[in-house]
Amino acid sequence: MGGIATWTGLAVAASLSGASAALPAGAEGEEGLLIHAGSVIAVPGEAPLGPSTIVVKDGQIAEIAAGYVDRPGMRAVDLKHRTLLPGLIDTHVHFSFTPDTKLWSAAIDTPEDVALLAFSNAKKTLEAGFTTVRDVGSDGYSIHALRDAVNEGVVVGPRIFLSGTSLSIVGGHGDMSGLNRKATEALYPYDYTGACTGGAECALRVREAAKYGADLIKITSTGGIMSQQARGLGQHLTDEELTAIVTTAHSLGLKVAAHAHGGAGVTASVRAGVDSIEHGTWLDEATARQMAERGTWLVPTLGLLDGRKEADASPEVRAKMAEARAVAGRNIQLAVRHKVRIAFGTDAGVSPHGQNARQFRLMVEQGPMTPAAALRSATVDAAALLGQSDRIGTIAAGKRADLIAVDGDPYRDVTLLERVATVIKDGRVIVHDDGSRP
């Protein structure tokens, strides 16, 4: 792990560990934790358990016992008046930027600046109850450093699976434009932006990403709503390029997430065998059926435009925002109708970090999904998309002790997930409001 993550961790770890915690972070010590919960949704989508005790040792769930039990030497966390759930998972975030990040930021920000911003965004996300994320597009290697720092215990943050830089056509959504040529070539050379042309070069970009530590591959199959271009949202990567990327990634054991808005690009990506469609704004009936048949996931990012105001955008971007708003919700409605697998993902970075849980209400309103199904998309199903079902996504013995608690029943009111009272990640208490404050 690089020096940036090390000094970043030393500088800021203390700020996270003190976040509204009645129990200090790490208070579980070597003896572990006893969590007394009034209700436990161990497997989202299934009936909850009654009063229970979760025994946590070495960052893992060691036991689930009925009722409230005590163990000598173990500290208890009192959640008898709350509902305990698995830690939430957001499969589409961008920690290296926010809705306020400017087009020219790369001319000003250093890698150290980006690392600190990313840590701040990760902190907000974890405190909101999201213990695992998939970062699908951040330039440079600051997110790699953050991921490694979290994994090594240098800093406390959500578990991160990352793609690094997205792969794009030259001048496409992942290849920065909007500045003059001299500035663009200096700040965003093609090998930095992941731009590629033809099957051979696109396969090379996949191998490079794998070489430098990517957990998955992210591609931009179509134009993007927020990119500074007027050329629309249709298919960008050719069928040859898509097939080369998918074949190469799968041969290396990496999944492919495809940013795709326009219908033709969505269909081409599914045909090429990508693992997930990100956004799918203009998903159509035929392609939804094909996704269901092939097992292709949809990550609907319903809060995509929440952090963006049309007045702050260029005329080209405003036009695309208006087009997208006109069909908002169609993607998830088709996915629900045709039983496409749905994984929770918000596009935080484009939308505000730390407000990820606001998407639950949109899934219920627009799907329409039941609260239980929406919650399952951010736990059981998101873990499956990540290939991490044996570690996270449910509360079970042997899994990581990633847990959150809310006041009330989220099966009845999914908006309760916007107000998480307790967050525990890897058995470490991150946030715990004991309810005693006015």
Residues 170-174: contacts with CB under 8 Å, at least 24 apart: 170/195, 170/196, 170/197, 171/195, 171/229, 172/220, 172/223, 172/227, 172/236, 172/237, 173/220, 173/222, 173/223, 173/224, 173/227, 173/229, 173/236, 173/259, 174/137, 174/219, 174/220, 174/259
Of the given ranges (96-110, 250-264, 300-314), which has the lowest mean pLDDT? Answer: 300-314
Query: What is the C-alpha to C-alpha distance for residues 96 and 148, in angstroms, rounded to an integer?
Result: 15
- The answer, yes or no, to whether the previous bond of 352 is cis (omega within 30 of 0) is no
| Helix/strand/coil for 110 | coil
Find how far residue 20's CA is from the centre of its chain. 23
Q: Taking residues 244-258, report their average pLDDT.
A: 98
Evaluate if residue 186 carries a pLDDT over 70.
no
Backbone angles phi, psi at 66, to 5 degrees: -70, 140
Residue-averaged pLDDT of the chain: 88
Largest CA distance in the chain: 68
In order of their start, the domains of the chain are 12-87+395-432 (2.30.40.10), 88-386 (3.20.20.140)
> If pLDDT is split at 50, 70 and 90, which confidence band does 328 have?
confident
Query: What is the C-alpha to C-alpha distance for residues 269 and 44, in angstroms, rounded to an integer?
Result: 30
Q: Encode pLDDT of 272-307 as tens digits.
A: 999 999 999 999 999 999 999 999 999 999 977 765
Among residues 216, 251, 245, 249, which one has the least CA distance to residue 386? Answer: 216
Find how far residue 343's CA is from the centre of its chain. 10
Evaluate if residue 20 carries a pLDDT over 60.
no
User: For residue 176, what pLDDT is reported?
Assistant: 66
Strand order across the 276-279 sheet: 217-220, 256-260, 276-279, 297-299
- Tokens representing 226 are 């927020």
Strand order across the 75-86 sheet: 60-66, 52-57, 33-40, 75-86, 403-406, 422-425, 428-432
E strands, 261-376, are 276-279, 297-299
* Paired sense of beta strands 52-57 and 60-66, if any: antiparallel
Q: Taking residues 362-367, report their average pLDDT.
A: 95
Note whether 159 and 428 are within 8 A (CB).
no
Q: Taking residues 61-81, report their average pLDDT.
A: 96
- Indicate the angle between helix axes 330-338 and 358-366, nearest 10 degrees: 60
User: For residue 9, what pLDDT is reported?
Assistant: 40
> If pLDDT is split at 50, 70 and 90, which confidence band does 308 have?
low
Evaluate if residue 150 carries a pLDDT over 70.
yes
User: For residue 2, what pLDDT is reported?
Assistant: 41
Of the given ranges (48-62, 68-82, 100-114, 341-355), which has the lowest mean pLDDT? Answer: 100-114
Evaluate if residue 247 carries a pLDDT over 70.
yes
Query: Under 8 Å CB-to-CB from 47, ≥6 apart: which residues?
Result: none
Evaluate if residue 250 carries a pLDDT over 50.
yes
User: For residue 389, what pLDDT is reported?
Assistant: 98
Find how far residue 123's CA is from the centre of its chain. 13
E strands, 99-208, are 130-135, 159-162
> If pLDDT is split at 50, 70 and 90, which confidence band does 4 have?
very low
Evaluate if residue 24 carries a pLDDT over 60.
no
Helix or strand holding residue 93 (H, E): strand 88-93
User: For residue 67, what pLDDT is reported?
Assistant: 98
Instruction: Give residue for tokens 């499956």.
Output: 384
Eight-class DSSP state of 368? -
* Paired sense of beta strands 428-432 and 422-425, if any: antiparallel
Q: How many CA atoms lie within 13 A of 188 on its CB side?
A: 26
Comparing 111 with 274, the larger pLDDT belongs to 274
User: For residue 138, what pLDDT is reported?
Assistant: 86
Number of residues written out for the chain: 438
Note whether 217 and 167 are within 8 A (CB).
yes
User: For residue 434, what pLDDT is reported?
Assistant: 79
What global pTM score does this model have? 0.91
